[in-house]
Amino acid sequence: MELNPSQTLDITNVKIPNFFNLADKSFYEADEINVLISADIFFRVLTLNTYKINEEFFIKESQLGWIACGKLQEKEVGKQNQCFMARNDTLQDTLKHFFDLEGLGIRDDPFANEKYQETEIFNETVGFKNHRYVVQLPFRKSYDELSDNYSLAKQRLKISGEDLATILHCTRSTVKLFSIT
């Protein structure tokens, strides 16, 4: 259950004149949210009138009554260590991680034969034509030319599926064995 505000706020120092008909007279109390409206409806409900209570708190007139807006109080927070982790992996990200793990050790290391690569790049980019040396900049190869590990990944996925079927069969056999005894 979400409360808004999350805790009851102290409004003893806030002087709201009595002639304002507040849309929510208990806006400072921790309570459930009653209704959510979209921004386009919200701004149609608001009027231009605003009454400033202090530097950070004001009330705004609406067709529903006056609405409390702004900051009431700041809570002093001691030193706390907080750690938040949001993990919102898509299927594509999960598959990428799977193939990255499955592909460990089978990808070509671009620096394994560094001297051979240097010689190959030199031969590809330096030539001698019409009694002159012609030198090209050694641009990197495009990603279209990278190796394709699809068939190997497919084979490993098939083997993993077979292993999973074996584990499932063993698990069912174990459950039957324990249910008999």
User: What is the tens place of the pLDDT at every residue in 110-142?
Assistant: 566 677 778 888 888 888 888 888 888 877 666
Closest CA to 42 of 26, 27, 63, 28: 63
Evaluate whether residue 155 is within a structural domain. no
Evaluate whether residue 31 is within a structural domain. yes
Evaluate whether residue 33 is within a structural domain. yes
Quick one: tokens of 123?
């031969």
Tell me the C-alpha distance between 57 and 73, whole Å: 9
Residue 1, pLDDT > 60, answer: no
Domain count, the chain: 1
Evaluate whether residue 27 is within a structural domain. yes
Evaluate whether residue 5 is within a structural domain. yes
Evaluate whether residue 107 is within a structural domain. no
Evaluate whether residue 97 is within a structural domain. no
Residue type, 1: M
Report yes or no on whether pTM surpasses 0.75.
no
Evaluate whether residue 54 is within a structural domain. yes
Which structural domain, as residue segments, surrounds residue 62?
Answer: 1-74+170-180
